Structure 1
Amino acid sequence: MAEVAVIGGPDQVLTEDEVTAFIGEALAGAGLDGRSVCVIVPDATRSCPLPLLLKAVTDALKNSQVTILVALGTHAEMSRDELRSHLGGDYPNVLNHEWWKPETFADLGTISSDRVGEISDEMLRDAVPVKLNRAVVEHDVALVVGPVFPHEVVGFSGGNKYFFPGVAGQEVIDLSHWLGALITSASIIGTPGVTPVRALIDEAASLIPAEKLALSVVAQSGTDALHAVAFGDTISSWRAAAGISAQTHVRYLDHPVRRVVSVMPPKYADIWTAAKGFYKLEPVVADGGEVILYAPHVTQLAAMHPEIEQIGYHCRDYFLGQWDKFRDLHWGVLAHSTHLRGAGTWDPVSGEHLRVQVTLATGIPEDVVRGANLGYLDPATVDLAAYEADPDTFVVPNAGETLYRLKA
């Protein structure tokens, strides 16, 4: 295992001074003076004290040429004002990952179909071209700065995931997300170690010519505080932070619950991102139970992916059983659909049977919600106090980052 420096732990909360000093010392010893550094940071859908981290990083890199690249994945572009607030100031050389522009990408090569088959335990055998934001390729060093949380596609987020899908081309995004969908969110979320999707991401990252480093942080969800920071290469740093996240961001219940109300914070602007309120709770919902996503501020299913309104939300087997009909759509969109619908079965005679009901209490019109194969609840009728008093209901404030599981 490569050398990694860590400050903090699952039972600690670091002070700003501790974080700043650790970052300064870590980067001072990394041999970055005079080198060009692309700093890859999350967008506003991830919790962490980014202004604190970025100030510490840029102060430590004052003798380096620095570009800040916002890892949008396929999320919406951030405006200048949003970036100023998100980053904590006006920094020079700030780029959105403009995934919608072909000229954004550099071609790093191809992962062969045989290698994809090996990585995926033969669930997939498709060669995949590896394309990455050219800003990463054009710098000497790629420095990932961002949090690690349980994640529905890869197990735990962070590390090389900031490259793929964070600033990657559509092909790797689609293949990696569909591989996660085949495994299923409930099976992979919060899984420690290298999952097949993590292995695919690491394989793609091995093609990046820049030196790859990471400041992987473990955030206190819902606050601007940090439990821990790990610095090293993107694999060892991520591994250390994921181990702490597994102790910090996973809660265990004694028994399944009949109903969950996930109260979604404003940082999730559409269901594409707010669906995390389902992913993180699906494992504790009883068969035949319900998850209500309470997000009155949300008015769209997916701002960047309107095709989800056409295909709707379905379980994995719904798509696999009719693969010729769906195979030419973006697999990332199909994956999102299955992740929000959860476990279920489909056959051509009896149709689709789903383990859990998903209900939206949002600002999305009822016809759009029902047309997408989801339940509808008028958010104006939601009485959170009454739900909290109901012994059959589990209300989760600030949902989306903490994973809930049943005790073994």
Structure 2
Amino acid sequence: MPSPLLSQAQAPTAELLTLEQIRATLQPLQGRFAGQKVLVLIPDHTRTLPLPQLFRILVEVLDDVGRLDFMVALGTHPPLNEAQLLKLVGLSAEERHTTFRHIGLFNHAWQDPDALATVGVVSQARVKEIAGERWHPTLGGDVQVRLNKAALEADQLLILGPTFPHEVVGFSGGAKYLFPGISGPEMINVTHWLGALATVRGTIGLKDTPVRALIHEAARLVPTPITLVALVVQGSGLAGVFVGDPISAWSAAADLSSTRHIVWVDKPFQRILSCAPPMYDELWTAGKAMYKLDPALADGGELIIYAPHLDTVSLVHGKYIYEIGYHTVPYFLNQWERFKHVPLGVLAHSTHVRGSGTWVNGQEHPRVRVTLASRIGPEDCAQLNLGYLDPDTLNPEDFANREDEGILLVRKAGETLYRVKEGA
């Protein structure tokens, strides 16, 4: 049975919570951690939420704690510089050094062994049990569970983050802010590759997935008490806030997300122009413009990632991605000796962007075509095994209001999931 929530607020359908409702829902946190050292885990700029507003409310509500730090749960995303950190939480440079000088603001450092501590191991046998039919020997052996030392030095962990349909874990949020949010590379790689083996179409928008189970298994090894503030974002506001333990609050948020963030369509589309917003400043994150639309794309169809602002594949992982390109899971599994040196998380990203497919007589057969319309040029796209279109030749309005022709325009892609109705 789920644990009762500390507090919650949910707006009626098509409405948003007021600032007063949000503040009242967070108010029960006051006095809960008095005198203790609290570490708040927050997302970076690639997630939509009114973080500057929530940051100020939390600082006010938690004014009686002994120490209050905020850490950006980056996973493997690039670290934010000082200006980016201030913009993320809505502080001026002057406020940083005056009113909020007592608040710590940090990045997670997944590649720095000195920043990480081991809290335990998930055995290979347990990974096999969790993975079930998705198990594959490429997942490897026992998984070392490491996370940022700051999480162990704190008396309390508070996770503040949104929940959306997610390509790797089913629905984001909750303990995902630990793994991969502030974890070492081992859990990052294994969870993402397990998600790839399960496929985007077999994972996204589902609550109960092997990856979610593996993340919760690892979270049990974390000794620091954890409280979750799970958010359901709609537009620029909040449709729901759920405060409680990291499983119950996440579960409630995922239930609401399934009603707010999934669009059901009558039949799959032959061509989709999926507009990646500027917050996705690398293809590593702009790939979400593919993930969220893949289930609504017909076999043999084409999805265009339209990102005229984008000129970078990945600052952190670009070298590997250019080496391997974008391919389907069978492409890698059937040539494993060629690719076993590549981090599993990178292989997973490749397959998520390229979509599912088959391997027949030594040839890869992707289910769909993926075309990139960005500042990444035609030669690079060819090396990456993606189609290319000059973004300056595209007018998104040419794709508007053509659903009856099998053509769909999504003006802000990456967070809303599109699915075909069952039986359609």
TM-score band, normalised by the shorter chain?
Answer: over 0.9
Percent identity of equivalent pairs? 44
Q: What does residue 257 of structure 2 align with?
A: 245
Contact 1:20 1:52 in 2 (8 A): no
8 Å CA contact retained: 1:180, 1:335: yes
In 2, Cα distance between the equivalents of 1:182 and 1:9? 36
Distance 2:218 2:152 in 1: 13
Matched, 1:316 2:329: yes
CA 1:23–1:291: 2 relative to 1, 3 Å: same
Question: How far apart, CA to CA, are the structure 2 residues paired with 1:70 and 1:15?
Answer: 26
Q: Corresponding residue for 2:266?
A: 254
Question: CA shift at 1:10, angstroms?
Answer: 5.8
CA distance in 2, matches of 1:254, 1:389: 15
1:35 corresponding residue in structure 2 = 36
1:61 lines up with 2:47 in the alignment? no
Report the alpha carbon displacement of residue 58 of structure 1 after superposing the two structures with TM: 1.2
Q: Distance in 2 between matches of 1:302 and 1:295?
A: 14
AA of the residue aligned to 2:309: H
Specify the alignment match of 2:106 in structure 1: 95
Secondary structure of 1:53's match? helix
Following superposition, the deviation at residue 350 of structure 1 comes to 4.4
Deviation at 1:100?
A: 2.4
Q: Which amino acid aligns with 2:82?
A: R
Query: Partner of 1:142 in structure 2?
Result: 157
What does the per-residue CA deviation read over 1:239-271, in whole Å, with 9 as the maximum and x for residues that have no partner?
A: 010000000000000011110001111000011
Instruction: Quote how far apart the aligned CAs of 1:389 are.
Output: 5.2
Which one-letter code corresponds to 1:291 in the other structure? L
Q: Distance in 1 between matches of 2:328 and 2:375?
A: 24
Unaligned runs of 5+ in 2: none
Aligned residue number for residue 15 of structure 1: 18
Give the gaps of 5 or more residues in structure 1.
Answer: none
Q: Does 1:368 pair with 2:369? A: no
Partners of 2:174 and 2:407 lie apart in 1 by: 35
Deviations 1:278-334 (A, max 9, x none): 000001111110000000111011121011011000001001111122122100000
Q: Distance in 1 between matches of 2:16 and 2:373?
A: 34
Q: Which residue of 1 aligns with 2:341?
A: 328
1:172-211 aligned at under 5 Å gives the runs: 172-192=187-207, 194-211=208-225
* 1:58-137 mapped onto 2 (5 Å cutoff): 58-64=59-65, 65-89=67-91, 90=96, 91=100, 92-121=103-132, 123-124=135-136, 126-137=141-152
Q: In structure 2, what is the Cα distance between the partners aligned to 1:53 and 1:103?
A: 31
Aligned length: 402
| 8 Å contact kept, 2:230–2:243 | yes
Please report the TM-score for the alignment, with normalisation by the length of structure 1.
Answer: 0.96
Q: Deviations over 1:366-406 (max 9, x none)?
A: 11111110000000100212222543320001110000000
Contact 1:10 1:228 in 2 (8 A): no
Per-residue CA deviations over 1:80-102 (Å, capped at 9, x if unaligned) read: 11111111113431110122221
1:9–1:244: 8 Å Cα contact kept in structure 2?
no
Kindly indicate whether residue 171 of structure 2 is the aligned counterpart of residue 156 of structure 1.
Answer: yes
Alpha carbon RMSD of aligned pairs, Å?
Answer: 1.2
**Matching residue's letter, 2:109:** E
Q: 1:250, 1:403 within 8 Å by CA — same for their partners in 2?
A: yes
Q: Aligned with 1:54: secondary structure?
A: helix
Alignment-derived partner of residue 48 in structure 1: 49
| 1:10–1:247 Cα contact (<8 Å) kept | no
Counterpart Cα distance in 1 of 2:331 and 2:151: 38
Runs of 4+ in 1 over 3 A off after TM superposition: none
Q: Partners in 1 of 2:50 and 2:108 — Cα distance?
A: 20
SS of the residue 2:64 aligns to: coil
User: Is the 1:45–1:268 Cα contact (8 Å) retained in structure 2?
Assistant: yes
Question: What one-letter code is carried by the residue in structure 1 that aligns with 2:74?
Answer: L
Q: Hey, what does 2:420 align to over in structure 1?
A: 406
Say whether residues 1:284 and 2:296 are aligned partners: yes
For residues 20 and 86 of structure 1, the distance between their equivalents in structure 2, rounded to whole angstroms, comes to: 20
Q: How far does residue 114 in structure 1 lie from its aligned partner after superposition?
A: 0.9
Aligned equivalent of 2:236, options 213, 224, 227: 224
2:268/2:406 contact within 8 Å kept: no
Q: Which amino acid aligns with 1:286?
A: A
